[in-house]
Amino acid sequence: MTRPASHRPGRWTPPGAGGVAVVSLGDEAEARNSLARLGVERMPARGDLGLVRLRDGDEDLDEALLVNAPDGHVELHLHGSPPLVARLQDLLGVNASATPITAHADRAAALVAGAPSELGARVLLDQAQGAFDRALNEGLDAADLTERGRAARFLLERTRVVIAGPVNAGKSTLFNALVGAERATVSSEEGTTRDAVRADGRLGPWPVEWVDTAGERDLSQDVPGDVHNTRVERAGQELGRALAAEARLVLWLEPEGHGAATRAPDDVSHLVRLVSRASDPARPGHLAALEDPSGARARVADAFAQHFRLDPQEAWLAGRAVPFDRTSRAAVGGVPGAADRDDPGAADRDD
Ligand SMILES: Nc1nc2c(ncn2[C@@H]2O[C@H](COP(=O)(O)OP(=O)(O)O)[C@@H](O)[C@H]2O)c(=O)[nH]1
Ligand SMILES: [Mg+2]
């Protein structure tokens, strides 16, 4: 088991002026070494603390609280003056750029109000009450925490899902079933949805941004007598393709019996194929958004969970420690950004 970042020597309150700065001195042996350089010889017993004077040779530096935690991890609690903290770190040779980590609970609390989903807010509340800090102190398995952090992003950030496919595949019908309101125009006339239509919604526990796109059909020639609209529609198709390329997930609808008339792009890896307007929507991978909108929703939720390897039953478990932002994910992974690599949408978000 690797020891948590809070137990490695280093400062772990955020840099800057504050009431108290906490410098981790590592385990008892490491701490004795460091403290000798500051003229401190007495170490409080485990689970105890004491007031000490810190000296650099003859010079009196400051008074500080020396804490020997029950697990034998030693900390100095200093007055927060940045020059003094910097000087002590210099004297101790501890790494001033160690991951700052005590503010996790505070950051989680600050994020609750802006959470895009109810379960996301509950995850944040748990961490605001210290679940994540406790896990770090207990040294929970980093791989477990990393996976929880990955899954939690789907509660804490809205996932963009683009609905694409040939014209008349039933994209707008599915979009309306997913959004739960008549938002996009549904028409049997080809080329009705010329612009992308977006709506925020929810899929099971996950907050989603749905995007309905113009359908794919051959527009290499202007439709006679309708040159302007052809151009508008072509622009809509291009927009749809651009959105599909950068979405986290593309639902590619192909109406039953459509064959290979319009091929799904094979260069998009984040694409799930579904057969739409199906005569038997109970078949795997089939849906009929018009006749069975709730079945279609369930089908899409399954596809979403499977694609992103998510278990809706595990989305939130009361009081469980979960990394919830870039800083907490980095504290677990040790390598900033390590937990993000698995996530195709990470590049366009900064948290
Ligand atoms: N029977 C049936 N018709 C559907 C279904 N989904 C869409 N349609 C019809 O197919 C036509 C095109 O649908 P639309 O959603 O506008 O397709 P889009 O061009 O892909 O957006 C409309 O007449 C819809 O009523 C379905 O699940 N079952
Ligand atoms: Mg449409």
**How does DSSP assign 174-192, residue by residue?**
HHHHHHTS--S---SSTT-
Closest ligand 1 atom to the C-alpha of 169?
20
The alpha carbon dihedral of 215, 190, 236, 261 has a sign of: positive
- pLDDT at 295 (0 to 100): 96
Q: What distance in angstroms lies between residue 291's CA and the mean position of ligand 1's atoms?
A: 10
Residue 130 CA to ligand 1 centre (angstroms) = 49
Counting every residue written for the chain, the total comes to: 351
Q: What Cα–Cα distance (Å) separates residue 169 from each residue in 68, 204, 271, 337?
A: 67, 24, 16, 39
82: nearest Cα among 74, 90, 93, 70: 90
Q: What is the pLDDT of residue 145?
A: 94
**Which of 125, 192, 130, 170 has its CA nearest to residue 291?**
170
Claim: this prediction has a pTM higher than 0.75: no
Domains of the chain with CATH codes? 5-92 (3.30.1360.120), 104-156+316-348 (no CATH), 159-307 (3.40.50.300)
Cβ atoms of 217 and 262 within 8 Å: the answer is yes
Query: What's the pLDDT score for residue 67?
Result: 85
Triad 105, 111, 113: Cα angle to 5°: 125
Q: What is the pLDDT along the chain (351 residues), one digit of tens a residue?
A: 445 555 656 555 555 445 566 777 888 888 898 898 899 998 999 888 888 999 988 888 888 888 888 777 888 877 766 677 778 777 776 654 433 435 788 899 889 989 999 999 999 999 998 899 989 888 888 999 999 999 999 999 999 999 988 888 999 999 999 998 555 556 555 555 555 688 889 999 999 999 898 766 666 766 666 666 666 666 666 767 777 777 889 998 999 987 655 666 666 678 899 999 999 999 999 999 999 999 999 999 999 999 999 999 999 999 999 999 998 998 887 544 444 444 444 434 434
The token pair at 14 is 């955020």
Closest CA to 131 of 145, 115, 151, 147: 145
Ligand 1 atom 22 nearest Cα:
188
State how far the Cα of 324 lies from the Cα of 115, in Å rounded to an integer. 11
* C-alpha span between 350 and 123 (Å, rounded): 19
Site to substitute for ligand 1 among 162, 163, 167, 168, most atoms within 8 A of C-beta:
168
Regarding beta strands 206-212 and 159-164, do their DSSP bridges make them parallel or antiparallel, or are they unpaired? parallel
Report the distance separating Cα 126 and Cα 105, nearest Å.
Answer: 9
Tell me the sheet residues that pair with 207: 202
Q: Which residue is closest in CA terms to ligand 1's atom 26?
A: 277
Give, as residue ranges, everything with CB less than 5 Å from ion ligand 2.
171-172, 193
**To 5 degrees, how large is the angle CA 16–CA 19–CA 24?**
75
Q: How many Å apart are CA 172 and CA 186, to the nearest integer?
A: 6
Q: Whose CA is nearest to atom 19 of ligand 1?
A: 168
Of 318, 280, 317, residue with least CA distance to 299: 280
The residues pairing with 159 across neighbouring beta strands, listed in sequence order, are: 208
Read off the tokens for 16: 């800057």
Which 8-state DSSP code applies to residue 62? E
**243-266 burial, b if ≥16 CB within 10 A, otherwise e?**
bbeebbbbbbbbbbebeeebebee
Structure tokens at 325: 């932002």
C-alpha 14/C-alpha 23 separation (Å) is: 11
Interatomic CA distance for residues 74 and 28, integer angstroms: 6
Question: What pLDDT sits at residue 122?
Answer: 94
As for ligand 1, residues whose beta carbon falls within 6 Å of it are 167-173, 186-188, 192-193, 215, 277, 288-291
